[in-house]
């Protein structure tokens, strides 16, 4: 099977025009089929504030009410996605920016109202990703750039976690590609000592995860991240990488961040 790389970038890259510029150069240079998934960053919050719309929080969780949905649709699917695509095109990468509604590539289900009503937030399931449409775009030489807006197939757009989209796309595309999933975040990867970049754990096998948790090497917010990564691997993804965006060019040589494998 052909190799497909799915890369997710978050606010720390998007909010810095310098970092974003460099990342898009590195992404363009990455050989083979690839898909970019991007989150939001500060711009949506800033636009909301300018419009007098305060972030809605319930029990510390962000709520996507109808006004917030309008804003994230404008910022993620419009401003960020189209500027990113225009930059990639200028570098020679034939990017095509998509929300989940476009070509029905990602269909979500509005999160059921439990103790918290998250509003217009979409959850994904095993039928969410249209492998056929993404595959046909890739075969046409296009590079999909997915924003964190999906739809429910019944006219409703939904705000959806970009990490979850990246993982669902990687799992689904594993049916027709050897997929690897790359999460770019603030740190070099999993560190034995958070203060020391040299303490990077370069590789974790699925059966080593429990032990690293017990040892405290993996803790805090890294636990759910790695849990989800190994879940993606269990479902067919060949490898998941967690590391710093600016080290992406080394992925096929010295390696990139922490590599998670089966």
Residues that bind a copy of itself (CB under 8 A): 47, 50-51, 70, 73-79, 81-83, 85-87, 89-90, 94-99, 101-104, 133, 136-137, 140, 142, 149, 151, 153-157
CA atoms of 145 and 205, how far apart (whole Å): 29
What is the smallest separation between the CB atom of 140 and a copy of itself, expressed in angstroms? Answer: 4
For a copy of itself, give the closer residue by CB, 155 or 253: 155
**Does 107 count as an annotated binding residue?**
no
What is the smallest separation between the CB atom of 95 and a copy of itself, expressed in angstroms? Answer: 7
Among 32, 42, 54, smallest CA distance to 173 is for 32
What is the smallest separation between the CB atom of 77 and a copy of itself, expressed in angstroms? Answer: 4
For a copy of itself, give the closer residue by CB, 122 or 257: 122
Query: What is the DSSP track for 168-193?
Result: HHHHHHTTTSEEEEEEEESSSS-BSS
**Does 97 count as an annotated binding residue?**
no
| Burial profile 134-158: b = 16 or more Cβ within 10 angstroms, e = fewer | bbebbeeebbbbbbbbbbbeeeebb
CA atoms of 213 and 156, how far apart (whole Å): 40
Distance of CA 174 to the CA centre of its chain: 16
For a copy of itself, give the closer residue by CB, 59 or 154: 154
Q: Give the DSSP letter of residue 51.
A: T
Q: Which residue has the tokens 């269990």?
A: 234
**Does 62 count as an annotated binding residue?**
yes
What is the smallest separation between the CB atom of 246 and a copy of itself, expressed in angstroms? Answer: 20
**Does 41 count as an annotated binding residue?**
yes
For a copy of itself, give the closer residue by CB, 81 or 258: 81
Q: Which residues are annotated as a binding site?
A: 40-41, 62, 159
Q: Which residues are annotated as a binding site for substrate?
A: 40-41, 62, 159
């Amino acid at each position: 099977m052909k190799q497909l790389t799915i890369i997710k970038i978050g606010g720390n890259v998007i909010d810095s025009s310098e970092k974003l510029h460099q990342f898009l150069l590195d992404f363009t240079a990455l050989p083979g089929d690839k898909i970019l998934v991007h989150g939001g960053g500060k711009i949506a919050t800033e636009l909301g504030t300018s419009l007098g719309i305060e972030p809605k929080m319930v029990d510390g969780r962000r709520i996507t009410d109808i006004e917030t949905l309008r804003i994230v649709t404008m910022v993620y699917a419009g401003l960020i996605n189209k500027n990113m695509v225009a930059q990639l095109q200028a570098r020679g990468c034939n990017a095509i920016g998509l929300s989940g509604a476009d070509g029905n590539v990602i269909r979500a289900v509005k999160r059921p109202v439990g103790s918290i009503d998250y509003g217009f937030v979409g959850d994904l399931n095993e039928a969410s990703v249209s492998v056929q449409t993404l595959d046909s775009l890739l075969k046409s030489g296009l590079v999909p750039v997915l924003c964190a807006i999906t739809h429910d197939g019944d006219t409703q757009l939904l705000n959806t976690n970009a990490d979850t989209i990246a993982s669902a796309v990687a799992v689904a595309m594993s049916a027709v590609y050897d997929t690897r999933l790359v999460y770019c975040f603030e740190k070099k990867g999993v560190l034995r000592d958070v203060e020391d970049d040299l303490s990077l754990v370069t590789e974790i096998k699925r059966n080593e995860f429990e032990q690293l948790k017990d040892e405290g090497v993996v803790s805090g917010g890294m636990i759910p991240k790695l849990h989800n990564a190994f879940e993606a691997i269990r479902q067919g993804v060949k490898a998941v990488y967690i590391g710093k965006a600016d080290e992406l060019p080394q992925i096929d040589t010295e390696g990139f961040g922490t590599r998670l494998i089966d």
